Chain A
Amino acid sequence: MPAVQETVDRVKRIDVDQYRYGFETLIESDKAPKGLSEETVKFISEKKNEPAWMLQWRLEAYRRWLTMTEPTWARVDYPKIDFQDLYYYSAPKPKKTITSLDEIDPEILKTYEKLGIPLREVAMLEGVEPKPGEEDPNRRKIAVDAVFDSVSVATTFKAELKKAGVIFMPISEAIREHPELVQKYLGSVVPTSDNFYATLNSAVFSDGSFVYVPPGVRCPMELSTYFRINERNTGQFERTLIIADKGAYVSYLEGCTAPQRDENQLHAAVVELVAHDDAEIKYSTVQNWYPGNSEGKGGIYNFVTKRGDCRGDRSKISWTQVETGSAITWKYPSCILRGDNSSGEFYSIAISNGFQQVDSGTKMIHLGKNTSSRIISKGIAAGKSQNTYRGLVTAHRKATGARNFTACDSLLIGDKCGAHTVPYIEAKNSSATFEHEATTSKISEDVLFYCIQRGLSQEEAVGLVVNGFVKDVLQQLPMEFAVEAQKLISISLEGSVG
């Protein structure tokens, strides 16, 4: 397991306060005034040259939001957020229209370099096609739509995707270039009135990705976005919309890192997925927001609404997430199994260390006939953190033959952390088959000592045992991501024992 060794080396070089991605990039930015009002919403819409219908949509969401209150049911505890004390829009100042990578602010490119993601596939990003005969067949292509702060600054692979008919662009562009698609699908899975944070997002979302895969097309590459928060006090409100038309397939990777902060940063993203008949969407996330320092100060508040709609028959949506960062995580990627014979999957690794609080899980809503869902959740709590799995599996009256399998495993490291499992199960018809398994275990001193007696250091031993614990989920990630995730898991557990 060479990755483990590499991880440990890296872990030795950092500690929680020296968060690896805790650096800032000095670039000029273009900010909305502090606070939230109709003016802020208008400012954002205007900045993005949005059509009138979009502004209207935002304003309706904003007015709705004013009537709503923050949810308090999650097992998380944090000081009240002053929504008037945040900036809602910040963009790198556009110098001119970008046609090639050379024109992107070198500071921005440097940021990616520091992240160890030299825009992930530099050669490809620079548009360097491998010479004939030199292509590596094992290396799948990845297209990157890099979101820097709130505006997408680089979109790559457009040409190749265009050839396949796939639309992959910042949602702000899609609003202008494909209004018919955006109007049809935006808010159709997560309505503007859905919940406090989703409604807030609808009013002020800055940017995000838009993907449309036409009927019968298998997207020729993995699509990927790296998110990053870079402006002090900027709420980050991503909006992502992915549509797989009949018989289409797409795999989307999302990864996040954030710089160190003293003040808490609010992040409220919305992701909507729509799968038509026989379509499949695979959505993978590695989340590594700044978790706060060793006293629990700072860190990102992550309130995310992710939902997939298996709208068509035999459609499939699969969520895989590796959650390691954030001070607060409030996130329940869900599937609405509307089409007959549709299926939903949720594979999750949620790690909490230090003072992190995680309340995460999924909802599987069975509406169609013979729908099936599968939930594999691995929660790991260390330090003084609290880690809750919250899940809902429900079968509608007409959802005959609905099937679900749920396995929730929790692993505790140390004796000051907590793991909680809160499953809700509802079957409104007698033909539904729901299975639920849950285990909670403590990382055993005997297991650690066994590994250490064989020559592993304490950190290596913990990394090895935890990576074994989460193996079932790691296997669901695309290869490139799995390796990164494995490293991240060990890094985030640094200092959790001894």
Chain B
Amino acid sequence: MALLEVKDLKVRVEEREILHGLNLTVNEGEIHAIMGPNGSGKSTLSHVIAGKPGYEVTDGQILFRGEDLLEMSPDMRAAKGVFLAFQYPVEIPGVATMNFLRTALNAQRKARGESEYSTPDFLKKVREVSKSLNIPQDMLKRGVNVGFSGGEKKRNEVLQMALFEPSLCILDEMDSGLDIDALRIAADGVNALHSPKRAMVVITHYQRLLNYIVPDIVHVMSKGRVVKSGGKELALELEASGYAQFEDAA
């Protein structure tokens, strides 16, 4: 069974159709890249999978391990293993990162019927994980993303990914706002988390990110549809000739 199956998905935002029948299948362990120009519907797709309010699904299906994802609340989707790394992670003043991580992790565990972590067990786990990703403990004491640099925010996303152990990670334009060094650090984190059980969907505008995260399959989106899929060489082709050739295909 596929991990994620998007079938003929049609989505509207305020009366305007953004996705016009999109199909996508992701299996365990695969790395997919979704590329496309601005406005092609890449971020909409990631938001709809995660369950962000404000989108109306008018047709089609999203199955996660065969279950109807659209029937689940967004927090339940998270508990089932859907993780969205945000393009612009939000700041939550007054809420220490450590606190946030623990609240979220225990909420997910509880939703799955698992026991919640005790404070010492949680601290042990978070130390282990942050150490493996070279994330300083100091960062965990600060308010969630408050005063973080662009790079720190993305590392915080990677940390959460490592801690929550989702089976599907969607990375929405994680390269935006990052310099080359920060990009490399974040990408290293993502690569470290890739496993035969965990699939990654990397959404990006530029080929540059794919130098660091090498995809198995590349999809090109245009005007709300996947118009071409291929191997990693497709990304290079795009880099050379641009998106214009696909405008007509849509």
Contacts and interface: CB of A to CB of B under 8 A. Distances in A.
A467 B103 contact: no
B93 A469 contact: yes
B28 to A, nearest CB: 21
A427 interface: no
Contact of A452 (B75, B100, B143): B75
Contacts of A456: 75, 103-104, 107
B103 A449 contact: no
A412 to B, nearest CB: 15
A85 to B, nearest CB: 45
Contacts of A472: 94
A455 B79 contact: yes
Contact of B90 (A447, A457, A464, A469): A447
Nearest to B94: A468
A470 interface: yes
B143 to A, nearest CB: 7
A5 B84 contact: no
Contacts of A471: 94-95
Contacts of B99: 1
A11 B75 CA distance: 18
Given A449-B74, A464-B100, A454 B94 contact: no
B95 A467 contact: yes
Contacts of B204: none
B78 interface: yes
Contacts of A2: 106
B164 interface: yes
Contacts of B108: 454-455
Contacts of A457: 73, 75, 107
B93 to A, nearest CB: 6
B165 to A, nearest CB: 12
Contacts of A4: 103
A444 interface: yes
Contacts of B105: 455
A4 B110 CA distance: 14
Interface residues on A, range: 20 to 34
Given A457-B75, A467-B95, A449 B52 contact: yes
Contacts of B143: 468
A469 B144 CA distance: 12
Contacts of A455: 75, 78-79, 104-105, 107-108, 111, 164
A26 B89 CA distance: 54
Nearest to A471: B94
B168 interface: no
B53 interface: yes
A41 B116 CA distance: 58
B172 to A, nearest CB: 11
A452 B103 contact: no
Nearest to A4: B103
A464 B92 contact: yes
Given A468-B95, A469-B94, A452 B74 contact: yes
B24 to A, nearest CB: 19
A465 B164 contact: no
Given A5-B103, A5-B106, A457-B107, A452 B92 contact: no
A415 interface: no
Nearest to B118: A2
B40 interface: no
6 contacts: A447-B90, A453-B52, A455-B111, A456-B75, A457-B75, A471-B94
Interface of B: 50-54, 73-75, 78-79, 83-84, 86, 89-95, 99-100, 102-108, 110-111, 116, 143, 160, 164
Given A1-B102, A468-B95, 11 more contacts: A1-B100, A5-B107, A452-B51, A453-B86, A454-B107, A454-B108, A455-B78, A455-B164, A456-B107, A457-B107, A468-B94
